[in-house]
């Protein structure tokens, strides 16, 4: 394993040197000593910075059930050092907004959805029985029709929406009689719109998704 080169090379034990080895590459590996903020700074911070600069960005976690996806993305939001990527992202965004030029205005809107058995549900919607459709338009690309969104002004408001949405997620009972999320995928969709009062600005209005 070479952390510098970002690669893993596998040799077959007791084989002759003529047999080809297998090489796999990676960007970053986090060990058990890694902190939530380490993961955020290495993986998510550069993407959030690009969103603030005017680009779209995507952050997602995937893997088997019980491998830590929810902990990585959400963490324990009430404990600062245990916060995951989502709450750290919003703390980052609103921190940047607070330091922005006085002529720059921001609008942050948030949606929260769940994919369960290949059906999309609006976790912030009034009717949880409604299944939403995924559409595509030339001007905005792929989107979820009728997905609700809410304006947020602080990380605290975002936290309240996440708490409400999590109450609406699908829970199933497994063989050990414990409730857990099974084959469900939750995601937040954030719109960060930035406008400038400067009439000479090259891009007076910028809207980006994360």
**DSSP string of 66-125, one letter each residue:** TSSHHHHHTB-TTSGGGB-HHHHHHHHHHHHHHHS-TTEEEEEEEEEEEEETTEEEETTS
Which stretches does DSSP call E strand in the chain? 7-10, 22-25, 104-116, 119-122, 134-137, 141-144, 150-151, 172-173, 179-180, 184-196, 205-209
Which residues belong to the annotated binding site? 63-70
Phi, psi (5° rounding) for residue 199? -70, -15
**CA-to-CA distance for 95 and 84, rounded, in angstroms?**
16
Annotated binding site for ATP: 63-70
Residue 132 DSSP label? B
């Amino acid at each position: 394993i070479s952390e510098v080169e970002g690669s893993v090379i596998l040799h077959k034990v007791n084989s002759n040197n003529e047999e080809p080895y297998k090489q796999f590459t990676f960007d970053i590996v986090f060990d058990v000593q890694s902190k939530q903020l380490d993961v955020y700074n290495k993986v998510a911070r550069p993407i959030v910075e690009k969103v603030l600069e005017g680009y779209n960005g995507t952050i997602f976690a995937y893997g088997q059930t019980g491998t830590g996806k929810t902990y990585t993305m959400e963490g324990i939001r009430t404990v600062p050092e245990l916060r995951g990527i989502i709450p750290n992202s919003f703390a980052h965004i609103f921190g940047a907004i607070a330091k922005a030029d006085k002529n720059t205005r921001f609008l942050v809107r948030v949606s929260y959805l769940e994919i369960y058995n290949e059906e999309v549900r609006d976790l912030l919607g009034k009717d949880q029985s409604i299944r939403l459709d995924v559409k595509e338009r030339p001007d905005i690309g792929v989107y979820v029709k009728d997905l609700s969104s809410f304006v947020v002004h602080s990380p605290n408001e975002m936290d309240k929406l996440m708490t409400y949405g999590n109450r609406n997620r699908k829970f199933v009972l497994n063989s050990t009689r414990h409730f857990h999320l099974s084959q469900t995928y939750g995601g937040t969709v954030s719109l960060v719109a930035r406008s400038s009062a400067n009439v000479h600005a090259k891009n007076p209005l910028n809207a980006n998704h994360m």
